[in-house]
């Protein structure tokens, strides 16, 4: 009996008898029907199909849940929830005293993003942030600092201020309560390389002018960062919030 | 006289402790303040010197920016 090239469907031979035509067509039709179904196993809106381990037979993959992504498990495609990512709020701290330590910061993320806002000190002051590994201060940084109120300043050594370098306007006004800083520490948990940081901030200075400020640099230490210390050079924090986010 | 207060927030336990600085912390705090005062004085002296030069030249800070720009 003759067969087709690709799917091996049985067809009548040239010498087959006409009286056997109906049966031959039924056989061919059944084969076509079976193959077509094997190649199109989807049953529901959104289903997809992939090749199975058998030739000319596909496997149905039902539509996934909302938000799922297509991934591979055991060599075949599957729908799954996307891997966790984005920002996770790790802690919220109200600033108080001459300094506030935020310790035991999780080491499970790639970056630390720190938001510090609505900070109030009972006098004009410079704010600082320092990084630690446990009780050990990571006391050396190099970088660059600039703002609309000062010429750019090279940072070297133990300089951790969150304000400009302008002589008369370096302090945050004690009356300012609309300030905001965003601090990012890259690869903060690494133990084999220094950590880069990027700081952005805005505040009202002692001339009642708005200051936009930024700084970038490197914490010169191989030790992981797991504690931050926020401090004021004068007075004490009477308000202010620090949110720490882990970023993956 | 009471020492300055500090806050410690342990993010693992969410425990918040407010306490006075220890003697060592106070010493460091005062050293930082002194360092900051020196830096501020230096910056102010630099600004004063800059203003004096501009005054001698008969220029305002804005005019200097225009020249340098």
Neighbour tally for A13: CB within 10 Å: 11
Q: B-chain residues within 8 Å CB-CB of A231?
A: 29, 32
The residues that bridge with B20 in the sheet, in sequence order, are B5
Q: B-chain residues within 8 Å CB-CB of A97?
A: 4-7, 18
Tell me how close the Cα of A160 comes to any Cα of chain B, in angstroms: 11
Contact: B9, A102; criterion CB under 8 Å: yes
Are A145 and A215 a contacting pair, CB within 8 Å? Answer: yes
User: Whole-angstrom Cα distance, residue A49 to residue A173?
Assistant: 65
- Torsion (CA) A19, A20, A22, A25 in degrees, nearest 10: -140
Candidates A135, A233, A234, partner chain B, best to mutate (most B CBs within 10 A): A233
User: Whole-angstrom Cα distance, residue B54 to residue B60?
Assistant: 6
| Neighbouring residues of A187: CB distance < 8 A, sequence distance ≥ 6 | A110, A111, A193, A195, A196
| Neighbouring residues of A25: CB distance < 8 A, sequence distance ≥ 6 | none
Among A39-48, A115-124, B18-27, B33-42, name the one with the lowest average pLDDT.
B33-42
Among the listed residues A98, A138, A102, the one whose alpha carbon sits nearest the alpha carbon of residue A244 = A102
Are A138 and A185 a contacting pair, CB within 8 Å? Answer: no
pTM of the entire predicted model = 0.71
Torsion region of B22: left, alpha or beta (phi above 0 gives left; psi -120 to 50 gives alpha) = beta
Q: Each residue's pLDDT tens digit in chain A (248 positions)?
A: 899 999 999 999 989 887 888 998 999 999 999 999 999 999 999 999 999 999 999 999 999 998 899 999 999 999 998 887 789 999 999 999 999 999 999 999 999 999 999 999 999 888 999 999 999 999 899 999 899 888 788 888 776 889 887 666 678 998 899 999 999 999 999 999 999 999 999 999 988 889 999 999 999 999 999 999 999 988 999 999 999 999 98
Place of tokens 């084999």: A192
Tell me how close the Cα of B13 comes to any Cα of chain A, in angstroms: 9
| Neighbouring residues of A152: CB distance < 8 A, sequence distance ≥ 6 | A144, A145, A146
Are A145 and A164 a contacting pair, CB within 8 Å? Answer: yes
Contact: A91, B11; criterion CB under 8 Å: yes
B24 touches A: beta carbon within 8 Å: no
The beta strands (E) that lie in A98-209 are given as 99-103, 111-121, 127-133, 136-137, 141-147, 150-157, 180-186, 195-204
Segment holding B42, helix H or strand E: helix B23-57
Q: Which two tokens stand for residue B28?
A: 């460091």
User: Whole-angstrom Cα distance, residue A41 to residue A51?
Assistant: 11
DSSP A235: S
């Amino acid at each position: 009996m003759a067969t087709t090239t690709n799917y091996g469907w049985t067809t009548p031979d040239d010498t087959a008898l006409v009286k056997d035509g109906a049966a031959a067509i039924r056989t061919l039709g059944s084969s076509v029907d079976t193959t077509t179904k094997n190649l199109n196993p989807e049953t529901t809106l959104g289903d997809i199909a992939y090749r199975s381990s058998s030739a000319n037979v596909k496997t149905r993959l039902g539509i996934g849940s909302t938000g799922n992504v297509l991934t591979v498990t055991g060599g075949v495609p599957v729908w799954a929830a996307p891997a966790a990512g984005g920002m996770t709020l790790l802690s919220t701290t109200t600033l108080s005293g001459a300094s506030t330590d935020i310790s035991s910061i999780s080491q499970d993320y790639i970056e630390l993003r720190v938001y510090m806002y609505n900070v109030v000190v009972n006098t004009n002051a410079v704010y600082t942030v320092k990084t630690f590994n446990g009780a050990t201060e990571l006391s050396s940084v190099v970088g660059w600092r600039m703002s609309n109120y000062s010429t750019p300043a090279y940072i070297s050594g133990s300089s951790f201020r969150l304000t400009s370098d302008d002589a008369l306007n370096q302090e945050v006004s004690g009356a300012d309560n609309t300030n905001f800083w965003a601090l990012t520490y890259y690869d903060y948990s690494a133990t084999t390389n220094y950590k880069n940081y990027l700081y952005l901030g805005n505040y009202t200075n002692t001339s009642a002018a708005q200051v936009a400020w930024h700084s970038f640099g490197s914490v010169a230490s191989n030790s992981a960062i797991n504690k931050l210390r926020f401090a004021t050079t004068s007075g004490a924090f009477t308000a202010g919030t620090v949110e720490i986010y882990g970023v993956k | 006289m009471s020492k300055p207060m500090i806050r410690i927030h342990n993010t693992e336990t969410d425990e918040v402790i407010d306490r006075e600085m220890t003697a060592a912390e106070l010493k460091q705090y005062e050293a930082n303040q002194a360092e900051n005062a020196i830096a501020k004085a230096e910056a102010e002296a630099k600004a004063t010197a800059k203003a004096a030069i501009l005054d001698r030249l008969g220029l305002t800070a804005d005019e200097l920016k225009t020249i340098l720009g």
